[in-house]
């Protein structure tokens, strides 16, 4: 179950998705679902997340992703609170999301289903 405004997902950058999957499976017992050659979602880690292997899409630091029932309304709340939109709403295989920077420059994202 997803809760509005709560941390829901964490995305790690990876230049070699297969090697990262082997590492996290072996070291920590995480399980993966592949979504194409450059993305794998992980589970059984304490917090669901994914490995982004596309250098054009990957963040420099781990990307914390929050959930929103209403993505447009949450984007408005983010900007009203002083956040800066770094990537407008876009579609991805699990739904839609946008990226923003907080007042200190940390990049986070917010997603919604469908």
Residue 10 has what pLDDT?
A: 93
The pLDDT-based confidence of 7 (bands split at 50, 70, 90) is confident
Query: Is residue 12 very low, low, confident or very high in pLDDT (cuts 50, 70, 90)?
Result: very high
φ/ψ of residue 39, rounded to 5: -145, 135
pTM of the model as a whole: 0.79
Tokens matching residue 51: 């490995």
| pLDDT, tens digit (0-9, with 9 covering 90-100), for 35-46 | 999 999 998 888
Residue 111: Cβ within 10 Å count: 20
Q: Are 89 and 96 in contact (CB under 8 A)?
A: yes
Question: Which pLDDT belongs to residue 103?
Answer: 85
Mean pLDDT of 91-104: 92
Q: What span, in angstroms and rounded, lies between the C-alpha atoms of 102 and 43?
A: 27
Domains delineated in the chain: 7-113 (3.10.180.10)
Q: CB under 8 Å to 107, separation ≥6 — which residues?
A: 59, 61, 63, 86, 99, 100, 101
């Amino acid at each position: 179950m997803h809760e509005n405004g709560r941390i829901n997902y964490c995305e790690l950058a990876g230049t070699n998705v297969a090697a990262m999957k082997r590492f996290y499976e072996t070291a920590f017992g995480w399980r993966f679902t592949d979504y194409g050659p450059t993305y794998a979602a992980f589970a059984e880690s304490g917090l669901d997340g994914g490995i982004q292997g596309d250098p054009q899409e990957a963040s420099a630091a781990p990307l914390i992703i929050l959930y929103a029932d209403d993505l447009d309304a949450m984007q408005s709340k983010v900007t009203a609170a002083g956040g800066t939109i770094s990537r407008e709403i876009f579609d991805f295989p699990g739904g839609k999301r946008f990226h923003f920077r907080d007042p200190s420059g940390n990049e986070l994202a917010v997603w919604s289903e469908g």
